[in-house]
Amino acid sequence: MNLAILVSGRGSNMKAILEAKKSGKLPNVEPKIVISNIADAPALNTAKEFGIEALFIDPKPYKGNRDGYDKLIVDELKKHEIDLIALAGFMRIISQTLLKAFPNKIVNIHPALLPSFPGLHGQKQALDYGVKISGCTVHFVDSGVDTGPIILQAAVPVLDSDTEETLSERILKFEHKIYPMAIDLISQGKVRIEGRRVFIDDDLL
C-alpha cells in the first residue's frame, strides 16, 4: 500500500509513521511522498532524513482556488500511485477534487474524542469544557470538518493540573500509537466501512 503523508508543521505524527515503518511494524506500507503546503515545515526535513521524497507545493498562486491547488496534489499522488493519504497536521480544508479522486482513501488524526471538539485546538476545547477524559481519533476524511467514520480512538485522562500544553503532550503520545496502528490495519485489508461505522477484523482489538 503506497502511502502519502500531507503535513503543514512539525510532523511528529508523520515521524511516528516513518519510525514504525523503519522498525518493521508496517510491513505492507510503502511511504512514498510527503507533501507540505508550508515551505519551511520542519516535517519536510524530517521526511528527507528518512529518505522519503519531500515536496512543498506553494498554495499562493491558488488563493481562492482550492480545487486548482488540490488538482496539483492529486497529480502528484497519482504519479506516485498512492493508495492511502494520511493527513498529519495538514492545515487545509480538503476540496471535492481531492476527496473524489481518493474516496475513503484519506485518513486524519484529531487530538480529541470525536465527535467532541472538532476543528482547531481540540485539546483547549476539551480543557475549557471541563471534560475529565479526552483523547485522540483516527478517522476517514469526508467533506465535513472531522466528521468522517471513526477508525480508532484512545482515551486520555484530563488532570486538574493540566494546561493546554501538558494535555496536548499526553494526548500526542497516544496519537503516535494509534495512527501507525490504524494505517497498519488498513494496509492489511482489515478495515471495512459500513455507513458511519468502521469494522476492524482483528482478533487483537
Of 11 and 148, which has the nearer Cβ to ligand GRF? 11
Q: In sequence order, which residues have a C-beta less than 8 Å from that of residue 106 and are 6 or more positions away?
A: 84, 85, 87, 94, 98, 99, 140, 141
The catalytic residue among 80, 110, 121, 176 is: 110
Helices (H), the chain: 12-22, 42-49, 66-79, 96-101, 122-129, 164-187
Question: Considering the complex, what minimum distance in angstroms separates the CB of residue 16 from ligand GRF?
Answer: 8
Give the per-residue contact string, 83-102, with ligand GRF (x = CB under 6 A; - = no): -----xx-------------
Q: Which three cell numbers stand for residue 195?
A: 455507513
> Distance (Å, rounded) from C-alpha 88 to C-alpha 10?
9
Give the per-residue contact string, 44-83, with ligand GRF (x = CB under 6 A; - = no): ----------------------------------------
Answer yes or no: 110 catalytic: yes
The full DSSP string for 79-115 is HTT-SEEEEES--SPPPHHHHHHSTT-EEEEESS-TT
Question: Considering the complex, what minimum distance in angstroms separates the CB of residue 174 from ligand GRF?
Answer: 10
Of 21 and 110, which has the nearer Cβ to ligand GRF? 110
Query: Is residue 147 a contact residue for ligand GRF (CB under 6 A)?
Result: no
List residues near ligand GRF by CB under 6 A: 9-13, 88-89, 109-111, 172, 175
